[in-house]
A and B are shown apart, each in its own frame.
Chain A
Amino acid sequence: MEISDPQEMEGLRSELQKAGVFVTTMEFIYNWGRSSSIWPLQFGLACCAIEMICTAGARFDLARFGAEVFRPSPRQADLMIVSGTVTKKMAPQVVRLYNQMPEPKYVITMGACAISGGPFKQGYNVLKGVDRFIPVDVHIPGCPPRPEALIHALVTLQKKISAQTTLPREQGDVSNRAYDKGDQHYPVPQLGAHDIVPPFNPEVWHPEPVRRDS
């Protein structure tokens, strides 16, 4: 019997559970494993990093969600928490580190600076949002966001991961890009004479066109 509708699958699961039969899918177990052990990359960029460190500490205890294992190497990390202002000098390194992380990988932008440049948006040296170069999964507003907000972002990411289709039944039937056949490499920007080159990655960043009423 082929069941492709997730709602139908959920109904069948609860029906069987009433009869004392527990059924699950490989995808559910796989996604449960991935979402329950998200290892972040250990790096901080600005004051948001202090809140991130606090989240990993005893009071807020990120370990409750399986994400306390901050890895000092991108080879072992799943999650990049961009915690702070990304300057144009730092942007190439951030993109490079993202490229060095193995798939599947996720990005949380923490705070106004990582989202849009925040209070330093007018600065000549500040990148106006890290989503110009790398795909972001969860944005957390705040300046800085409280540890609870980071935990909320992590739980949001866990929900997102749990809903992803990773083991395709048919070709191209995956919602997680890491499991596509295609490449997941993002070009690293370089420091140019006046600005970073290119100023954004058109593959990732699709800004709303500016509308002026006149």
Chain B
Amino acid sequence: MEPYSYNYNYLLVAVLGLLGAGFGLAPILIARVLAPRKPSSTKNSVFECGLEGSGDPWIQFHIRYYHYAIAFVIFSIEAVFLMPWAAAYLELPWTGILGMALFLLLLAEGLIWMWSKGYLEWK
């Protein structure tokens, strides 16, 4: 491969990725070979600060918590998407602006919904 070519840069990334994966996997593999294995029902059971676990972890959350989900998307997820969008704002084509406007419109709708339902009031 030609040095300093486009693909050469990706080769460096691949090498770094492989080294990183090896660094993480090597201790796990060494431990698998060296560590004595003595499974028991207590050891394989759920860790609950020494107590025996009770109940099913796969519980369903009640539907009435949906407004927390809406608030989370508006105030948390929105920022995550807005930040890189704002950074690349000047280079974006008009579809980028339109897409974000659509996204913000949906979120604004959620905000208005929550406002009108009174979920933003501190009780």
Contact = CB atoms under 8 A, between A and B. Distances in A.
B76 interface: no
A184 B52 CA distance: 20
Interface in A179-193: 179, 183-185, 188
Q: Is the interface of B mostly helix, strand, loop or mixed?
A: loop
Interface in A86-101: 92-94, 96-97, 99-100
A74 B36 contact: no
Interface residues of B, number: 13
Contacts of B52: 96
A94 B34 contact: no
A91 to B, nearest CB: 10
Interface in A71-118: 73-75, 92-94, 96-97, 99-100, 102-104
* Interface residue tally on A, bucketed by range: 20 to 34
Interface stretch (B38-46, B58-66, B92-100): B38-46
Given A93-B50, A93-B51, A99 B34 contact: no
Nearest to A178: B36
Interface of A: 30, 73-75, 92-94, 96-97, 99-100, 102-104, 178-179, 183-185, 188
